Structure 1
Amino acid sequence: MMRLARDPLALVVASGKGGTGKSVLSVLLADALARAGHDTLLVDADLNLANLHVLLGVRPAGRLDQLLAGEMEAGALVRPVREGLALLAGDTGNEQLHGLDALARARLMARLTDAWAGHDAVVVDAGAGLDAALRVAALGASRLVVVTAPEPTALTDAYALLKVVTGQLPGLPLDVLVNRALDDDEGRAAYERLAAAAERFLRRGLRYLGTVPEDDAVRRAVRAPRQFLALAAAGRAGEAVRQLVTTRLGCPEPAGSAA
């Protein structure tokens, strides 16, 4: 597997609220990058309701409270998914992480980044909500990928996230990925409404990353965790994500692929 000497591309995938399909898209983005030849780390940064290990059928190597306490290194929590793709799982129902103050959460997030070294690309599934996205994006994200849907409520939530990020991280490049659209026309129209509001009220430019269509293959894949990657990647959503990685995403060029 080809590696980069420079820092990895770090994509933080976030949404204003849950229910947009953010976690599924995080997996598909990481899978597409790995298929393109980039050594990719997928990070589940949800501290309480992590689910990527369930989707992928991967048993976590440890717990995040052990990382916070210094009992484990971040790299020891990384588990292989397949060639070129690894997972750093989050936690589900870990009482040791309930009630962490802001400083402890920030320290834990910072320790997760220790596992990024040596990878070409890192895809981070931020927990749902504004605070979770900010905590992760502040750690050195290359880009923030805001996942939304064509519905007005989803666009409103996405705008709220953009507003907070613009205030706290004004220099962070922002991408918009529209999920569960009927077609590219509906997705692009949703993006244009969001981009117009961001330009008018936030004075902030956005980049249209693409549209991912509604896909029954994803529903089937979610019900079959150990086959999730194979089933989801073979559907319309998986194809759309691979295409946008190739045509729109400024992913790093693997070392040795160019003269």
Structure 2
Amino acid sequence: MHNHELTYDQASGLRRMKQQMVKVIAVTGGKGGVGKTNVTLNLAMAMAQMGKKVLVLDADLGLANCDVMLGLRVERNLSHVLSGEAELDDILVTGPFGIKIVPATSGTQSMTELSPAEHAGLIRAFSELKTAFDVLLVDTAAGISDMVLSFSRASQDVLVVVCDEPSSITDAYALMKILSREHAVQKFKIVANMVRSLREGQELFAKLSRVTDRFLDVTLELVATIPFDENVRKAARKQKAFVDAFPKTPASLAVKTLATRAVQWPVPPSASGHLEFFLEQLVHAQTEARGLA
């Protein structure tokens, strides 16, 4: 059986699964340094505080950020699932407020280097997940790889984290250009991070909008302005999330406001509101990226 047939079989098998309504949000950015993982983890905890069952997938497999940032002990990671040594449920790590994290493979292999058979294994692992959850937050890798594009395209909502630096704006634009022109993603939710004021956040959004309005057929929405906040760094030194260490600090309040909004974003009632649709989209995006579709 060819690899792409194997992948297709995985996809068709997913249609027979018990349907599970899940809100799938990809958190992206251009290059590193915009605070993407920090936004993901704190948003996850803020949603969990609202009673949502949240799963975080650390898709930046080369870095294994999420567990390191929180000082969590990880016995096994996604590589053990892909090799068949463990099921996805077995490797989930519980973080603050009950969030569950899928630990990435901390090592040399990145998600982009997985073989089609391993991708199929990843999809199967998610389709067999027994733990129920309401929200899947995908912390994508920095930069623009096939995997970032696949996860973003398959998600219902794409959050793009930007900060007020020319390289961040350029990277965010490049990502949205590829997703809109080649992967039919038309709507992006912008998070202005580490800004000095609400006005600076709005100006940053305006800068980005001016470029996208001129060259791309996309809709942008400013969904959060997270202020620069010394307590973010202090929390990181304690290996804690800032919403946990400093719940009343300005950055925490901004993320909680974002969480309140995010839980109200509609989950499509059609197939795209289901976990298996997300997985099928992921398979399709991967096979297309490899020129197999």
TM-score, normalising length: structure 1: 0.85
1:133 to 125, 148, 152: 148
What corresponds to 1:256 in structure 2? none
1:18 and 1:241, CA in 2 relative to 1: closer, same or farther beyond 3 A?
A: same
Separation (CA, whole Å) in 1 of partners of 2:229 and 2:168: 18
Contact 1:28 1:233 in 2 (8 A): no
What corresponds to 2:4 in structure 1? none
Measured after TM superposition, the shift of residue 113 of structure 1 is 3.5
Measured after TM superposition, the shift of residue 75 of structure 1 is 1.7
1:105 and 1:145, CA in 2 relative to 1: closer, same or farther beyond 3 A?
A: farther
1:45 and 1:248, CA in 2 relative to 1: closer, same or farther beyond 3 A?
A: closer
Contact 2:193 2:228 in 1 (8 A): yes
What corresponds to 2:190 in structure 1? 176
Measured after TM superposition, the shift of residue 143 of structure 1 is 0.7
Separation (CA, whole Å) in 2 of partners of 1:179 and 1:147: 7
What corresponds to 2:5 in structure 1? none
What corresponds to 1:123 in structure 2? 137
1:39 to 53, 60, 67: 53
Contact 1:79 1:86 in 2 (8 A): yes
1:100 to 108, 113, 116: 113
Q: What is the identity percentage for the equivalent residue pairs of Structure 1 and Structure 2? A: 30
Structure 1 residue 238 corresponds to structure 2 residue 285: no
What corresponds to 1:257 in structure 2? none
Separation (CA, whole Å) in 1 of partners of 2:161 and 2:122: 21
What corresponds to 1:161 in structure 2? 175
- Spell out, residue by residue over 1:8-64, the C-alpha distance to the aligned partner (whole angstroms, 9 max, x if none): 111110111001000100011101111111111122111111111011121124122
Measured after TM superposition, the shift of residue 176 of structure 1 is 0.7
Structure 1 residue 50 corresponds to structure 2 residue 64: yes
Aligned residues: 247
What corresponds to 2:284 in structure 1? none
1:153 and 1:57, CA in 2 relative to 1: closer, same or farther beyond 3 A?
A: same
2:41 to 14, 21, 27: 27
SS of equivalent residue, structure 2 residue 202: helix
Measured after TM superposition, the shift of residue 251 of structure 1 is 4.3
Measured after TM superposition, the shift of residue 102 of structure 1 is 5.8
Measured after TM superposition, the shift of residue 70 of structure 1 is 2.1
SS of equivalent residue, structure 2 residue 260: helix
Separation (CA, whole Å) in 1 of partners of 2:214 and 2:84: 46
Letter in 1 for 2:151: V
Separation (CA, whole Å) in 2 of partners of 1:249 and 1:188: 23
Alignment of 1:193-212 (within 5 A): 193-212=207-226
1:172 and 1:64, CA in 2 relative to 1: closer, same or farther beyond 3 A?
A: farther
What corresponds to 1:191 in structure 2? 205
Measured after TM superposition, the shift of residue 246 of structure 1 is 1.7
Uncovered stretches (5+) of structure 1, i.e. residues with no partner: 254-259
Separation (CA, whole Å) in 2 of partners of 1:116 and 1:29: 23
Contact 1:142 1:172 in 2 (8 A): no
Measured after TM superposition, the shift of residue 197 of structure 1 is 1.5
1:215 to 204, 226, 229: 229
Q: CA RMSD in A?
A: 2.5
Uncovered stretches (5+) of structure 2, i.e. residues with no partner: 1-18, 268-293
Measured after TM superposition, the shift of residue 79 of structure 1 is 1.6
2:123 to 104, 110, 113: 110
Separation (CA, whole Å) in 2 of partners of 1:37 and 1:252: 17
1:107 and 1:17, CA in 2 relative to 1: closer, same or farther beyond 3 A?
A: farther
TM-score, normalising length: structure 2: 0.76
1:63 and 1:89, CA in 2 relative to 1: closer, same or farther beyond 3 A?
A: closer
Structure with higher Rg: it is 2
What corresponds to 1:77 in structure 2? 91
Separation (CA, whole Å) in 2 of partners of 1:91 and 1:229: 26
